[in-house]
Structure 1
């Protein structure tokens, strides 16, 4: 915001309140929204123990997905592939069915999958099930394939940052210069900035097109040079959105080579350029989290406003830093004639819009509010808010120094340098935020509970409360807190939607050869749905004493 030198106390207070309101928005507007596809359910369920082999494996996701050929498969414990390779998909795109070979032998099987979610992110996972195996046996964890696409993923994330930088230099510089400093449009430095932004947007549009196929197939750089799956990418919605963006960049190129002479001509070019700029921002929003989940129209409008505010704010900073201030310093005109009052008002509006729309978008991905500080997405979001807070602090300090008689020219230069540096950090954090899976798809903290057991107490620890497979550890202690061995424990999980799911428990091995143990662990606990769940326990202490108890916890 170069500085908020002309902002009075009420206006600065309003901006600070906007930042506070954005945090409230995260809490108040948090609701269900999907961005990276999440496996809702499977048949067989993860960890299931079956008497007879199933004919198919069914995977149901929370949104439409695009299967990746040869990436969805069923593997036996010996490493043999047992699906037929001819998957089918439901009409709405949310369910994938993998037919299995007939007469599967007794053993444990791993189902691995990789799909492209509606927001173009590539996600994967795995489940296991057993056929004819001992119900008390521990499940065999699937072996994850080597991550050959890691370098491509890092490159794609870096490309996101370059895309935002390109938006700032092309759209933001052009808009800020046209609105506030029309004379700067003819400057050679302005044209260089705009061409640099155009080139960055072109490169950051071509790169994901070439990388998407190899990343989906878990391939390395060699697949990129072979243009692997380029046709499949072009046939997808993601590919068509990238192609539309590239065509718009070709359309806008002649405007960068034209000298805008005359007020009428400038107005015509401004209308044409503004229309193309909005269309470019729409194509960027379409390839992000905003295109899926709840309230998509509102989210798309908010995303375009957010990108526009970011572009004008940071683009204005770039024009100030590279064109306006050097021209004023060389004696071309006094700083008071540089339109700083108008710039302060524009920057103030942009930052307020940036904060509010940005946190509205983030609020769709934070549920519950604890995910704000308990997930990677939430932590990156807090870092972004902190950086924007530093911008506000820098502006307030600059304002105070000017009002107390400081050197206006020196304060402006220093303020612009500081805010330009923070702007780079904002762009980097934004690119990282886009690449993070949303908090509402990863939140599921450990949970600890206790339940009375006659004179004793049973302590239950759940290693993670995300729906799906869960690991439960039970410890029985007496009134003095010492381990109290019990003969047997049977358990079941239930909710308002599920009557009862049996949970097999096995005693931890102890130093003495006895069946009684104070520590027990689950071998196949699976919780398929989010919400409140009850763990019911029937505990046999000895031949004379047995108790029933229950513990409650929430699954996300």
Structure 2
């Protein structure tokens, strides 16, 4: 994105400084690494590695790669979390240079600041708890660098999972009483958006890293194992897509008052770019559901190990590479979503009503129906579509 063009598009928009862009994007990369990796391990990798018979060698290879990935995700979370905390310090009060905010004594002073008038808890205390959880998550994951700890991969990964989720969820705890129901829903939907997005993007990155082991996997067993991996993650991704879309609709409505604000305000331009990137992700997911998954299922039923291996470890990772690139683009845009298009355009602030909630319920129902229809259509294609491998 051309930041100068974005800043000039409206006088009410302020382009974030470079350090803010890097720290915020980096923080969400760290969350994606930790949350995405632990959730994907629990829902996809762990059950898939236990399922296939005769693939013990393949399972061992993926087990080792998964352990190393989780260990590095802990390091990434720790570094990006520290930089994000320093960014909070730099923006607090009257602000200070980011280089000064990196100092431990400045951070400690920020965390120990007293509660604001009318607050039930100091904001610094909430951030302190959040970062304690972050450190615990990072330490548990980084322990997997030790060969002895890798034998306890299940225990460590499943312990880190709720801690990683709590790292972001604790940020939704308000320091003062929320003004109204809409404020509570903003916090809730924001966390739904973050968690579902990090599981989706982080999970794609995990499977892409695991697919890099294909040269060490068995020619006859790897296809079956990876068919199961892709099938399981496709279900997880579909749930995440639904949650991202539903929460995004609420957050978009709260910040954008009219369609034309998407190209007449700085916030709107950033949101429009994000929407285009997410649509690209959804389109790539549609390719998986309607083209690759049916062919994989067909090859699996036909016991065509050659086609199965080619589809699961050649074709599928190519699409996932594109998804990961688009996902990084989304995270790169997130720091530009500052303020509100409604404020820039001086339009009325959004306020919920019975009709708004009724429309939201209808949209949620329609979304659920469409996702179920997508899964059924993919299954139908799998039953009749011939395998074509190029």
What interval of TM-score do these two structures reach, taking the shorter chain for normalisation?
0.5 to 0.7
TM-score, normalised to structure 2, is 0.63
Question: What's the counterpart of residue 202 of structure 1?
Answer: 81
Consecutive unaligned residues of structure 2, counting only runs of 5 or more, are 1-10, 50-61, 116-121, 300-306, 350-390
Question: What's the counterpart of residue 169 of structure 1?
Answer: 33
1:280 aligned onto 2:167: yes
Higher Cα radius of gyration: 1
More divergent stretch after superposition (385-394 vs 182-191): 182-191
Question: What's the counterpart of residue 501 of structure 1?
Answer: none
Could you tell me which of 241, 255, 262 is aligned with 2:126?
Answer: 241
CA offset at residue 424 of structure 1?
0.5
Cα separation, 2, equivalents of 1:242 and 1:346: 30
Cα separation, 1, equivalents of 2:75 and 2:283: 31
Q: CA RMSD in A?
A: 3.6
The 3 A distance-change label for structure 1 pair 391 and 243 is same
CA contact (8 A) 2:263 2:269 kept: yes
Could you tell me which of 120, 129, 136 is aligned with 1:251?
Answer: 136
The 3 A distance-change label for structure 1 pair 370 and 238 is farther
CA contact (8 A) 2:86 2:102 kept: no
The 3 A distance-change label for structure 1 pair 413 and 207 is same
1:418 aligned onto 2:322: yes
The 3 A distance-change label for structure 1 pair 287 and 212 is farther
CA offset at residue 429 of structure 1?
1.4
Question: What's the counterpart of residue 437 of structure 1?
Answer: 339
- What is the CA deviation profile of residues 155-200 of structure 1, one whole-angstrom value per residue up to 9, with x for unaligned ones? 1232111110000111111111122112556434313432233223
Cα separation, 2, equivalents of 1:285 and 1:177: 25
CA contact (8 A) 1:169 1:197 kept: yes
- What is the CA deviation profile of residues 457-491 of structure 1, one whole-angstrom value per residue up to 9, with x for unaligned ones? xxxxxxxx899xxxxxxxxxxxxxxxxxxxxxxxx
Question: What's the counterpart of residue 303 of structure 2?
Answer: none
CA offset at residue 417 of structure 1?
1.0
Consecutive unaligned residues of structure 1, counting only runs of 5 or more, are 1-124, 126-149, 445-464, 468-556
SS at match of 1:217: coil
- 1:249-398 equivalences under 5 Å are 249-256=134-141, 257=143, 259=149, 261=151, 266=154, 272-285=159-172, 295-323=182-210, 325-332=211-218, 333-338=221-226, 339-398=229-288
- What is the CA deviation profile of residues 128-173 of structure 1, one whole-angstrom value per residue up to 9, with x for unaligned ones? xxxxxxxxxxxxxxxxxxxxxx999431232111110000111111
SS at match of 2:273: helix
- What is the CA deviation profile of residues 323-349 of structure 1, one whole-angstrom value per residue up to 9, with x for unaligned ones? 2x1233432442331221111111111
Cα separation, 1, equivalents of 2:230 and 2:339: 40
Cα separation, 1, equivalents of 2:80 and 2:249: 25
Cα separation, 1, equivalents of 2:231 and 2:102: 51
CA contact (8 A) 2:204 2:320 kept: yes
- What is the CA deviation profile of residues 298-326 of structure 1, one whole-angstrom value per residue up to 9, with x for unaligned ones? 22222222222112111211111112x12
The 3 A distance-change label for structure 1 pair 221 and 421 is closer
More divergent stretch after superposition (239-248 vs 269-278): 269-278
Could you tell me which of 83, 91, 109 is aligned with 1:231?
Answer: 109
The 3 A distance-change label for structure 1 pair 294 and 411 is same
Q: How many residues align?
A: 289
- What is the CA deviation profile of residues 328-381 of structure 1, one whole-angstrom value per residue up to 9, with x for unaligned ones? 343244233122111111111112211211231222122245433321112211
CA offset at residue 232 of structure 1?
5.5
CA offset at residue 293 of structure 1?
6.8
Question: What's the counterpart of residue 70 of structure 2?
Answer: 191
Q: Which has the higher strand share?
A: 1
SS at match of 2:255: coil
Q: Which has the higher helix share?
A: 2
Cα separation, 2, equivalents of 1:220 and 1:261: 45
The 3 A distance-change label for structure 1 pair 283 and 388 is same
The 3 A distance-change label for structure 1 pair 228 and 261 is closer
Cα separation, 2, equivalents of 1:432 and 1:441: 15
CA contact (8 A) 2:19 2:98 kept: no
- 1:207-226 equivalences under 5 Å are 207-213=86-92, 216-217=93-94, 219-220=96-97, 223-224=100-101
Cα separation, 1, equivalents of 2:345 and 2:16: 26
CA contact (8 A) 1:442 1:466 kept: no
